[in-house]
Amino acid sequence: MKLHWSPRSPFVRKVMIAAHELGVAEKLTTTRTLVGMELINDGLLPENPLNKIPTLVLDDGRVIYDSLTICEFLNDMAGGGIFGTGAARWEVLTRHSMANSFLDALILFRHERARPAMQQAPGVLTAFTTKTTSMLNHVQAPPPGRADIGDITLAVALAYLDFRFADLGWREGRGALAEWHAAFSTRPSMIATTAVDG
């Protein structure tokens, strides 16, 4: 299976962490695929018309996206483990949605911050700053040792804050969350997928 991949995409990292946690990472062949909000990759478009990574191409040519759908596919392939079952599944998926929407907001926030100062919209920057703070104040540190898709996505979002928003100092006043993230970051799946620029 071929995974359109980048070492700095948090959504790709989510998929790779899930693959490691499920023990199926070695089944993925990663291919470096350069994309950006203003960077169209013509090689990717036939497989994903919206130019997004991660995109998974199965050996029989079928294509699976986006990151949640790929994680579900890997979870099924591995016989389950990171989504929960029955009623618990909705709780896991809801925590995933919260952390994933946070990531969506952070990507847009970063894009706005990267514009030349004259072109930045102050209202947009203020709104994203407020959302980031309110999300961080709202989220609870998960129980130690657990690694479902909600926990994985939260860990990726917090690591993305370290990667792109180190100036925000998200740990300040959030000791329990910081402690949880430090412990989660020692998991082999996290160590194997550290984000790098390049």
Applying CB under 6 A, does 36 fall inside the site for ligand GSH?
yes
Applying CB under 6 A, does 51 fall inside the site for ligand GSH?
yes
Residue 163 has, within 13 A of its CA and on its CB side, a CA count of 21
The residue at minimum Cβ distance from ligand GSH is 66
Q: Residue 71 CB: number of other CB atoms within 10 A?
A: 25
With CB under 6 A as the contact rule, the residue among 5, 30, 54, 190 that binds ligand GSH is: 54
From the list 24-32, 61-69, 109-117, 121-129, the region that binds ligand GSH by CB under 6 A is 61-69
Applying CB under 6 A, does 66 fall inside the site for ligand GSH?
yes
Query: What is the Cα–Cα distance from 166 to 79, expressed in whole angstroms?
Result: 37
From the list 30-38, 113-121, 137-145, 153-161, the region that binds ligand GSH by CB under 6 A is 30-38
Token pair for 39: 């960077």
Hunting for tokens 């102050």 — which residue is that?
Answer: 122
Per-residue contact string for residues 87-126; x = within reach of ligand GSH by CB under 6 A = --------------------x-------------------
User: What strands, in cross-sheet order, belong to the sheet with 2-5?
Assistant: 29-32, 2-5, 55-57, 63-64
Query: What is the Cα–Cα distance from 177 to 39, expressed in whole angstroms?
Result: 35
From the list 29-37, 56-64, 146-154, 155-163, the region that binds ligand GSH by CB under 6 A is 29-37
With CB under 6 A as the contact rule, the residue among 2, 52, 110, 131 that binds ligand GSH is: 52
- Beta-strand relationship, 29-32 and 55-57: unpaired
Q: State in angstroms the smallest separation of the CB of 32 from ligand GSH.
A: 13
| Closer residue to ligand GSH in complex, CB, 2/52 | 52
The per-residue b/e assignment along 17-42, b for 16 or more CB within 10 angstroms, e otherwise, is: bbbbbbebbeebebeebebeeeeebe
The torsion region of residue 146 among left (phi > 0), alpha (psi -120 to 50) and beta comes to beta
- Site residues (vs ligand GSH, CB under 6 A): 9-11, 35-37, 51-54, 66-68, 107
